[in-house]
Structure 1
């Protein structure tokens, strides 16, 4: 089997207010905003980072969400990052702390209701 060289380039999202969403996600990820008008792009914040693209939605928001982002933070920093995301405008949904021994996470929603998780993995001993 050959090894793939695929990596995540960008996440594309529609939004009721693309500028506000770009501003929120820029503050969460540290990515810088570029673009303007109706669409906004957050360039990756490093060689292993990913970009985000926000464009206006043309249809009503779906009632369910089939996928979401899992953002990983260093072990021991999840609670601090969750507090920071909430201060920036995220809404707390729930924690999963004891279901899996290899990961703990908190599920949040961004200002437009898109779910995302902030997860931490314990160090390998």
Structure 2
């Protein structure tokens, strides 16, 4: 195949501050900083943040899912960093928690053994 995923990019108002938050959350590092576009490598991939003049109206149509060996502990750590818990859901044997980063972008954390 000719395509390789390079990054998942999030539109935001303040790329540097949001990238710093995600670098802390992922235990990663900022690998590119062009002021209007900042990329963070961590957790096996790259999240990037680009400045846009206005937030996307309505619900995000894409979000990132993460797995953790201890979902409860990881959710508590992310909340301590400034994430907001939106809800916890169960479907069959899969339980996940939906969180929002400081800009309100939603992401999920599930138990790694549940298929993430």
2:79 pairs with 64, 83, 86, which one?
86
| Unmatched runs of 5 consecutive residues or more in structure 2 | none
1:8-57 per-residue CA deviation (whole Å, 9 max, x = no partner) reads 43111111111111011111111201314222111245xxx111111101
1:59 matched to which residue of 2?
54
| Unmatched runs of 5 consecutive residues or more in structure 1 | none
Could you say which structure has the higher helix fraction? 2
Could you say which structure has the higher strand fraction? 2
Q: Is the 8 A contact 2:15 2:51 kept in 1?
A: yes
Q: Is the 8 A contact 2:7 2:45 kept in 1?
A: yes
Does structure 1 residue 25 correspond to structure 2 residue 9? no
CA distance in 1, matches of 2:111, 2:5: 20
TM-score of the superposed pair, with normalisation by structure 2: 0.85
Aligned length: 114
Change (3 A) 1:72 1:8: farther
Does structure 1 residue 40 correspond to structure 2 residue 38? yes
| RMSD across aligned positions (CA) | 2.2
CA distance in 1, matches of 2:12, 2:66: 20
- 1:73 offset after TM fit, Å? 1.1
